[in-house]
Structure 1
Amino acid sequence: MTNLMRLADEPGVLELAVLIADAWQGRRLGRELFAHSMTLARSTGHHTLCVSVLSSSRPLVSAIGREVPAMATAHQGTISEIRIPLDDAAPANQLM
């Protein structure tokens, strides 16, 4: 499941939420949904994706960082907020 939600107090920014059932993990589905979300966000005129993850989820943060080196990460307690500038991010077709 993927959800993109506009942030009312930040025009041009979308919050991305992705949920992959355990049975579907490890099949590149998350990567495909992430790439599709980037394409959709760009096509609707947004400039940034915002993703909140558990700070302990280092493999996920590392995977996003490999795909989008220009990301910015801020840590608040157990949550890491990742901001992905869409102008500088790799084109979605390069994420596959």
Structure 2
Amino acid sequence: MAAQTLLALEWLVRTGRAKRASTIRLRRVKNKVYAVFTYEVEPEPPREPEAVIVFDVNENTVVAAKVDLIAAVDRVARWKRMDPAPHIHLHL
């Protein structure tokens, strides 16, 4: 787990999204000394979701599906154009 975190941090430093801060803390635990490096990381900009994962849980089965949001909205819009809503007439 720690190795994956170090690889991710190294990738952020190489791409220029993280910089090492000027402070290094030293910790002594029993007979060992640990160096704690601090990094300044730029936050990622928020992204719009492209898809959602849908779960249907029944008594004996679990179904999972990935739904593409743009394709689903497009399909609903096409369906609505094919079957227009009936006109409602009100007489008072």
Same fold flag (TM > 0.5): no
Which protein, 1 or 2, shows the higher relative CO under an 8 Å CA cutoff with sep ≥ 6?
A: 1
Structure label with greater radius of gyration: 2
Give the alignment's TM-score, normalised by structure 1.
Answer: 0.23
Q: In proportion to residue count, which structure has more strand?
A: 2
